[in-house]
Chains A and B, each alone.
Chain A
């Protein structure tokens, strides 16, 4: 009787081959690494005393705030929470302008449309839905809801591309996808992560065709939106990647992870170029964003704090206390005048 080749043998061989290539790749990447970022930044002036305070506290969610996004008008914010509520605020006056109750809990993703006329959100319902914002107080926003994206597991992040017409999503099913809002059709899907995808960010590049994603496989991937191909990937984190955000020039991106570090990856050098960590920081970074000039990196952490990093020198500039539970989401405002943090303590804070 002939022995058929065990499927597990082939799989194991393939896996080993992939691992070997990965090791070779890291070696190649190291060859052109001739200087560290903080060395190049030695001549840069050190930052002075850093003072940032909570300028607004948005109270109104009855449960953990999971996600937030700014409107292009620089003052409105949409936020979503564990109990299914999605709220649109004028953060400047702290007034609530719209509220929607989703039919699911754990709304982990929300995004403001570029026009300011709609919001997208989703979570444990595995979908991403778009709600046009009506100013008629009597109108039930839920009635006009449009189901756009359908994944086979939870929705972890969503964002509109440069218009109201397309949405990019990431999911616990291990994939990302690009959707046409009007028809609900999937335009492109992105496969390559080996586990849940937790976050994504659109590149601010001239040609605007790439985005980066991070997942539970400790990998961050840069994707070509047109072809669906993974263009570059990085695997230096030691745990789940909770957040990815492009450096303003689009030449690099930062990631925040459960391994309590934030890292900077340069796309032209094709490698990790900085690690932002401290022995005293124990808990994971849940959300990261850059200041307008890219000099500062703000990280919201699971130990309730916000750490502010000097991107160039690699040092921590400040630690901000205030939230009474995990900081789950953090975004800088479109004109860089402030940043907003959302927390499991049910509140959002605007800092400036």
Chain B
């Protein structure tokens, strides 16, 4: 996440959307009417005012957000972890206990967003105070930090010690209850901002992201381009929401039986039962397909082409119709578009010879305007030079051959022969699972193919991608 810190007159301000949201929630938790009821809590012999129990926090969260116990506990933990609520009993343990353990709201002075990043100087003063109070008996990691700081900011150490002494003196003059509260507040703040080794560091955010002072030149050109883009966008044709949104309902409905997470899959989900039949029955080389798979080819032309088996079947149909060259042409175009840049001129040449040249052996019927444009582009062949021609043929197949294929005997017979797998139940004994078999790595298939001297790009795991091999 982006932490924006901008120095304005030496004041560092931090914005993190999650902190803002947390703080809003903390404030509502402290609302005199709708918030948590605060009362005095007894800590050994001292009475601490304005405190609450872990159970109070838990119950308030459940009621306010209508969430489960688990989620309420989870959110409560976050508030304690980030130092917005701190425990009075066992103050070094920043967790939420859902019982009558006492907790208090951290003062905004010590909120993460108010004082970020934690100042080294402040930490030195804090540790010095502790050192003085405990007469040198600091916890191991605190001792290390103390010594390291002493070395690093040695030049201001007199100031540090003076501040520490002054603060200790001032605190001695307070009432015991106040003193305990102030000590807890300060300690909680440092536990969050200087977490002990081994605990989760909430401040760790990963590589720096920039939203101000970015690496993009926000110059006149940038804004001019943006203006141009916005102008074009304004003139864009839009579709009514009702039409667009209806299509999602239809899509979800159509694909629901195919969605293993929504409706399960037959014979079983391999991840749940450890049985890989589902994958075996749906692989490319299977002789009989499943009903769902064959049905899916009827959803859209794209679905048919995406499935290598579907594509093969469609080609067989086209061959019967003497229009197989269309699909071959389409595939050759895919090969140009997605293949190596260096091979483009050679491939384009081949495509021209096989499919577009007058009298070509597999001539495809493209309208004259597209043909003219394509041939012009051949003068300087590039990756997308065949796009228009490819789209023309694609839509030709989609509007004509594809619907007829779906009505053909070839498809209907395939659908009739397709199977619905029998369900495999999960093993009854919970801890005994089936042996999980390895599968050959796709890299192996290629290695073997390479050894055989075949083309590097063909292998059995490629489904709808990679350079298409000539069928």
Contacts and interface: CB of A to CB of B under 8 A. Distances in A.
Interface of A: 7, 10-11, 14-15, 17-18, 21-22, 24-25, 28-29, 32-37, 40-41, 43-44, 47, 52, 55-56, 71-76, 90, 92-95, 97, 106, 108, 114-117, 123-124, 132-135, 152-154, 161-166, 172-175, 180-183, 185, 187, 191-196, 198, 206-207, 216-217, 226, 230, 232-233, 238-240, 247-249, 251-252, 258-260, 266, 268-271, 273, 278-280, 282-284, 291-296, 302-305, 311-312, 319, 321, 325, 332, 334-339, 350, 352
6 contacts: A37-B245, A92-B270, A115-B457, A259-B17, A269-B244, A312-B248
Contacts of B243: 268
Given A135-B443, A163-B338, A240-B2, A108 B207 contact: yes
A175 B214 CA distance: 12
Contact of B465 (A7, A162, A173): A162
Most buried by B among A14, A230, A271: A14
A182 B342 contact: yes
B196 interface: no
B441 A76 contact: yes
B422 to A, nearest CB: 18
A194 B214 contact: yes
Interface in B227-257: 227, 229-231, 233-234, 236, 238-249, 251-256
Nearest to B73: A321
Given A32-B241, A153-B215, A294-B255, A252 B271 contact: no
A33 to B, nearest CB: 5
A291 B259 contact: yes
A-B complex: 9 closest residue pairs judged by Cβ atoms = A116-B442, A174-B216, A293-B255, A163-B338, A21-B230, A114-B465, A352-B271, A293-B259, A14-B223
A278 to B, nearest CB: 8
Most buried by B among A183, A207, A266: A266
A295 B220 contact: no
Contacts of A163: 338-339, 457, 465-467
A339 B260 CA distance: 11
Contacts of B446: 115-117
Contacts of A283: 18, 78
A293 B251 contact: yes
B224 A239 contact: no
A214 B181 CA distance: 45
A273 B462 CA distance: 35
A40 B246 contact: yes
B471 to A, nearest CB: 17
Contact of A216 (B211, B227, B334, B438): B211
B340 A182 contact: yes
Interface string B65-77: 1011011001100
B447 A352 contact: no
A202 B26 CA distance: 41
Interface residue SS majority, chain A: loop
Given A92-B271, A117-B443, 5 more contacts: A24-B230, A34-B241, A116-B459, A270-B233, A293-B259
B1 A336 contact: no
Contacts of B443: 116-117, 132-135
A115 B466 contact: yes
B214 A185 contact: no
Given A14-B227, A337-B260, A252 B248 contact: yes
Given A194-B218, A258-B18, A268 B269 contact: no
A44 B262 CA distance: 14
Contacts of A259: 17
Given A40-B249, A192-B225, A294-B248, A284 B215 contact: no
Contacts of B270: 75, 92, 337
Nearest to A250: B302
Nearest to A267: B244
B271 A21 contact: no
B439 A75 contact: yes
Interface of B: 1-2, 16-18, 21-22, 25, 61, 65, 67-68, 70-71, 74-75, 78, 200, 206-207, 209-211, 214-216, 218-220, 222-227, 229-231, 233-234, 236, 238-249, 251-256, 258-262, 265, 269-272, 276, 278-279, 282, 301-302, 334, 337-342, 383-384, 387, 391, 394, 436-439, 441-447, 457, 459, 461-467
Contacts of A24: 230, 234
A260 B16 CA distance: 11
A185 B74 CA distance: 48
A295 B216 contact: no
A71 B439 CA distance: 13
Contacts of B334: 162
A36 B248 CA distance: 12
B468 to A, nearest CB: 9
Contacts of A165: 338-341, 467
A335 B243 CA distance: 28
Nearest to A264: B248
A10 B220 contact: yes
B461 A72 contact: yes
B461 A116 contact: yes
A282 B216 contact: no
B249 A284 contact: no
Nearest to B213: A195
A280 B209 contact: no
A104 to B, nearest CB: 11
Contacts of A191: 216, 225
A18 B447 contact: no
A193 B241 contact: no
Contacts of B200: 325
B341 A280 contact: no
A256 to B, nearest CB: 12
Contact of B234 (A28, A32, A93, A293): A28
Contacts of A93: 436-438
Contacts of A291: 259, 261-262
Contact of B2 (A43, A258, A296): A258
B218 to A, nearest CB: 6
Given A55-B272, A305-B74, A116 B441 contact: yes
Nearest to B200: A325
Contacts of B218: 11, 194
Contact of B207 (A35, A124, A207): A124
